[in-house]
Amino acid sequence: MALVVYDQGYRIQTPVHALFKPRGTEELTASRAMPPLPSSDDVARDEAKQLEQLFRRPPEHASQQRLPSASSEPEPTLPDHMRRYLGQERRKVGLTAKQLMVTPVYTVREQTSLRAAWSQMLTHAIHHLVVIDDTGGILGMLSDSDFVEHGPDSPVAVAQAYQRKIIVASEDTELSLLASSFVNYPLRALPVIDAEEKLVGIITRSDLLRLLINNARVESWA
């Protein structure tokens, strides 16, 4: 199992590419006045362009692609769970979602108000909440962009705003597939499930970009 689609809490067999249109030119929508969330989990535009440039290359040149060598400037700090897999040992074995994912995953219920969900995002400095049912099953995902219609101070329930059709990664999904999915589809985060389809982690675009900025080797992702 690699990438699968969940629709309103049910795993469906339709391939990802058949349900999600490839990323194109995204239109900017004016949002309601909302206090800015901390940027630690968000992706800067220039970093996103760097990711797309690296992965939108002809397949035949993949083995020749290299990231810039380390300069005299200090390297960006990587979380401990990523730092362990950099270096010679990491290059021998490709990274997977299990090694990259962040835990714990912050979740929310359908009946929770958007006001309470926004407060949770601010408290934990995050941009995504996985929506779950009473048994912990994945129903969808709520992102900061989903507050545009109702606003962050709305008493409306999460059920009225969250994304019901989402792409989910398994723990063994390879980094190359994760990265290409963020480039090819309008994704900002991927929940990660284990072999029993239990929610165990989450990966954001910024997690992959931190790896790129820290001079991870592209050829080991192929």
We report the CATH number of the domain holding residue 200 as 3.10.580.10
SS3 category, 6: strand
Domain that holds residue 136: 3-16+41-51+81-221
Lowest mean pLDDT among 109-113, 160-164, 173-177, 190-194: 173-177
d(CA 55, CA 6) in angstroms, rounded, equals 26
What is the pLDDT, as a whole number, of residue 56? 52
Q: Look over the chain and give the mean of its residue pLDDT values, rounded to a whole number.
A: 75
Beta carbons of 166 and 20 less than 8 angstroms apart: no
Domain assignment present for residue 66? The answer is no
Residue 113 scores a pLDDT above 70? yes
Residue 36 lies in a domain: no
Residue at 70 is within a domain: no
Whether the pLDDT of residue 128 is over 90: the answer is yes
Residue 199 resides in a domain: yes
61 located within any domain: no
Percent of the chain with pLDDT over 70: 57
Can you give the pLDDT at residue 3? 80
Query: Does 75 map to a domain?
Result: no
Q: Where are the beta strands (DSSP E) in the chain?
A: 3-7, 10-12, 107-109, 128-132, 138-143, 165-170, 189-193, 199-204
Chain centroid, CA 176 distance in Å: 14
Contacts 24+ apart (CB under 8 A), 88-91: 90/216, 90/220, 91/217, 91/220
Q: How many domains does the chain have?
A: 1
Q: Say how many Å lie between the first and final Cα of the chain, rounded.
A: 18
Residue 218 pLDDT exceeds 70: no
Backbone angles phi, psi at 182, to 5 degrees: -65, -30
Residue 29 lies in a domain: no
pLDDT at 70 over 50: no
Instruction: Grade residue 219 by pLDDT with cuts at 50, 70 and 90.
Output: very low
Within-domain flag for 201: yes
